[in-house]
Structure 1
């Protein structure tokens, strides 16, 4: 199965034959040349599960009237249990993949789209060349074969396009799906199963009056990140979740391009969190609300047993300060033109509203709006009890880090119409000395979003912005958060909703904040990306590579 390599990757490959010294310094180049001949199925890899995913243009009936043109992923199982794939025919969302820890999997990605594309397995611990780096994007009519073993513990992961400079548009068009891993430890717990274990992708989209996806890509929209005017659940509008009078396990993914949610039940019921990006927490945690940034996942336990049939509940996103720097108010940066959406002109809110909210039409970032409606539709008898202990998580220790006295600091900034990490924009062949990490080491990494005073505002005083930071490969643990005193009042609108326990792969870094994490780099050498998961920021260059060697 041939693999067409994009121009930037060819530029990278030419360095592979320069010198033996270069090959020794950059080991990922040693296999890059072989990839140039195509990534075919390995003769010595015997998968437990083999899946074929096909990407193509399709039309689906999202609303009454004209069908919506999308970029559709369809899946089928070639070997293994049929339950490994669940297609969503009437939705733009990609198939849900369900696998077990320890399974060997082969995934054949066929690209029939009129563009290059590649998929990234978000949160999975896989070899570098199987991770979905943009350098491996394949052309229309070509294929890419992934082969890896599921090493992750049970958890709620996902996958999405990761094509250079067009990730945001491709994910928005439909190239994203859920990926659920189970294991023996999780199965032994008495948690809700089957129809009572519900995975929900939360996204925002805009549609025109012909039901077609509308994506703004002007500079102001890129700088803030795309904000749609309608909330979609699993690719469906006006979604209502019917439930029985018993406990449920709800798995929530923020699959939006840039929108951050502050989720809470409208009746004041606390959010009982049982899992995060990398699986179950040691113990359930209760929060009045929880923050959910793009790329993050949360698992919550919800007991509807005391609710009469007919009861309706709403999961809402509550108001919060989305930017924490004074400056633009009133009409803001959008001026008087507004933005077009499904309901026509969406007003003149501009970049900033009266509460420091960024534009999003009727759904501004930091606004108050409904996300999910739940309706109690039937009576059942159940005696559900939430376990007091869910799993055991070994805490990572600062003293075990190879760089305990010298953290790798990553400064987040937006200036000169660019989104930058340590003042650098993304380039495919630009690994710097401070981005080379020894394999099988634990590293201290800090994400500094104006904590040290480096605001990087530019654009005539544009505000500091939140950045959900994601690192590919093995999951990490959050060590601490530190707040610049000048931002403390705004930070108070979100601080109680951070769930920093357990294993994470994405962490929200608010303006004026520095977040320190402990990140293992075990098992695999090669290139692994780190970037902002505001997808417009990523496409603007807020993405870099670590080289593990």
Structure 2
């Protein structure tokens, strides 16, 4: 393990390692952006970063950091020494789910206790399973020594229950969030969202999953035995001190904090034991900033069956899938053709071993996956709607903005009517150093990707989404409808970008 001094020098001394990917795209004029209501200062900032007040060293640090986005700090290979931990499965009891944010100590490394945060335990959280149409009360409590919130990422819920920075829960306080599950089968998640502290609280361990089931999901024949052929996989990269502790402030990166140590479900050097059968893997990129491209080391293909907010219309055969922070995907891997002697693992784009699989020859079953999973569609009416909301994402580090502005809790940036679909156009404006990928997230809704640079999105993105990866110079159009009222955030899901101001607010009336 690298020393604390070395890590601090590597990550902080260079200012930016970056979790967003760099791009060589050249800056160009974006014809559809309306700047008529912007001040001269805002327009100037959007046309190009103003570096006039920066020192030479600061400029060099930014340039070095930006260049390093294409070569982020490498991860360790998993040795497969430890069986993957599975989060407890938690279902409502008399309609109530108790969820407590708390501090604790966790033995991530053998014989060492690391100080961590968790929900209903010392590290990470449970999988909460609910059903469409069910009325549920999330009974939340903050047992931390600092304020927090409970944000239900991907859940269609009223603004007052969404858990954004307005819904602060002080230490020792409790709050009931009651709502009716009004969306189809999906893999969602929850995490804190207090202004200025989201990144550190997630980094320390506050993250859990939410499974929504519906009548359709129960009929599709998908692997659905939790912990047997249906597995949650939460991928997070971290840096530990020599004492095997988290020291977020020492390694915090203004452009996204990257780690060299991979944890899957909080497990270091994990392996997953599975049978000779089709297995469902529910992937969550729960990292602060790192992007992951998942593939099998054998080069074999798999099937993607779901996006952030629900099933695709049919399984899509893939050889790899990339998820940016906050995104999820469900994939089916057929292990029936392998035996215990096979060396098979989930790896990333650098062929780093993320999760080796151990095949138990004694566990076999046969499952036929339905060719028809959903009836999702972008309608002709939605395609023909005019663009009514235009957003320009720009900048890096502490200089990030949306439409030339940084987040202000007291400012409402947009309004929209409940139940009405609008087209949002989001443009990722590159800067002088090429720009960065921004995973764009909208609270309280699941949206449809209408187009990417004027073209139909890839087949595996033609499903419900709440977070979309937008590359430099790219323009994405989304069909957005809110089924509930309230104030919701929209922001970059690189958590440090969010905290630095790449976030806005919409009020749904």
> If the length of structure 1 is used for normalisation, what is the TM-score?
0.72
* Alpha carbons 2:192, 2:202 under 8 Å: kept: yes
Deviation at 1:419, TM superposition (A): 1.4
Deviation at 1:496, TM superposition (A): 10
* Alpha carbons 1:288, 1:497 under 8 Å: kept: no
Q: Which residue of 2 aligns with 1:199?
A: 232
Q: Specify whether residues 277 and 266 from structure 1 end up closer, same or farther in structure 2 by C-alpha distance, changes over 3 A only.
A: same
* Alpha carbons 2:239, 2:251 under 8 Å: kept: no
How many residues are aligned here? 416
* Alpha carbons 2:396, 2:497 under 8 Å: kept: no
Deviation at 1:279, TM superposition (A): 1.4
Q: Which residue of 1 aligns with 2:507?
A: 547
Residues 22-56 of structure 1 show CA distances to partners (whole Å, capped at 9, x for unaligned) of xxxxxxxxxxxxxxxxxxxxxxxx99421222222
Q: Does 1:222 align with 2:254?
A: yes
Q: Which residue of 2 aligns with 1:340?
A: none
Q: Specify whether residues 437 and 314 from structure 1 end up closer, same or farther in structure 2 by C-alpha distance, changes over 3 A only.
A: same
Q: Does 1:440 align with 2:401?
A: no
Residues 104-129 of structure 1 show CA distances to partners (whole Å, capped at 9, x for unaligned) of 11112111211110011010101110
* Alpha carbons 1:216, 1:226 under 8 Å: kept: no
Q: Which residue of 2 aligns with 1:243?
A: 274
Q: Specify whether residues 274 and 400 from structure 1 end up closer, same or farther in structure 2 by C-alpha distance, changes over 3 A only.
A: closer
Residues 475-507 of structure 1 show CA distances to partners (whole Å, capped at 9, x for unaligned) of 0111111189xxxxxxxxxx9988311111100
Q: Specify whether residues 417 and 133 from structure 1 end up closer, same or farther in structure 2 by C-alpha distance, changes over 3 A only.
A: closer
**1:391 counterpart (370, 374, 386):** 374
Deviation at 1:376, TM superposition (A): 1.0
**2:408 counterpart (427, 432, 441):** 427
Residues 444-481 of structure 1 show CA distances to partners (whole Å, capped at 9, x for unaligned) of 1111012xxxx3x3xxx444000000011120111111
Structure number with the bigger relative contact order (C-alpha 8 A, sep ≥ 6) is: 2
Residues 74-114 of structure 1 show CA distances to partners (whole Å, capped at 9, x for unaligned) of 0xxxxxxxxxxxxxx5x621121111111111112111211
Secondary structure, counterpart of 1:62 in structure 2? strand
Q: Which runs of 5+ in 2 are unaligned?
A: 1-91
**1:173 counterpart (204, 211, 214):** 204
**1:231 counterpart (247, 259, 262):** 262
Q: Which residue of 2 aligns with 1:67?
A: 113
* Alpha carbons 2:132, 2:181 under 8 Å: kept: yes
Q: Distance in 1 between matches of 2:231 and 2:397?
A: 43
Q: Does 1:115 align with 2:159?
A: no
Q: Distance in 2 between matches of 1:264 and 1:406?
A: 36
Q: Distance in 2 between matches of 1:530 and 1:496?
A: 21
Deviation at 1:193, TM superposition (A): 2.0
Q: Distance in 2 between matches of 1:293 and 1:415?
A: 17
**1:501 counterpart (443, 462, 475):** 462
Q: Which residue of 2 aligns with 1:262?
A: 293
Q: Which residue of 1 aligns with 2:178?
A: 147
Q: Distance in 2 between matches of 1:264 and 1:471?
A: 28
**2:437 counterpart (454, 466, 480):** 466
Secondary structure, counterpart of 1:417 in structure 2? helix
Q: Specify whether residues 388 and 498 from structure 1 end up closer, same or farther in structure 2 by C-alpha distance, changes over 3 A only.
A: closer
Correspondences of 1:133-532 after superposition (within 5 Å) = 133-194=164-225, 195-216=228-249, 221-223=253-255, 225-318=256-349, 367-393=350-376, 395-397=377-379, 399-400=381-382, 404-414=385-395, 417-432=398-413, 435-450=414-429, 455=430, 457=431, 461-482=432-453, 499-522=460-483, 524-532=484-492
* Alpha carbons 1:420, 1:543 under 8 Å: kept: yes
Deviation at 1:415, TM superposition (A): 5.6
Q: Distance in 2 between matches of 1:144 and 1:260?
A: 34
Q: Specify whether residues 210 and 244 from structure 1 end up closer, same or farther in structure 2 by C-alpha distance, changes over 3 A only.
A: same
Q: Distance in 1 between matches of 2:385 and 2:286?
A: 34
Residues 121-167 of structure 1 show CA distances to partners (whole Å, capped at 9, x for unaligned) of 01010111010021111111111211111112111000000111111
Correspondences of 1:16-55 after superposition (within 5 Å) = 48-55=94-101
Runs of 4+ off more than 6 Å:
495-498
Q: Which residue of 2 aligns with 1:346?
A: none
Q: Distance in 1 between matches of 2:437 and 2:385?
A: 26
CA RMSD of aligned residues (A): 2.2
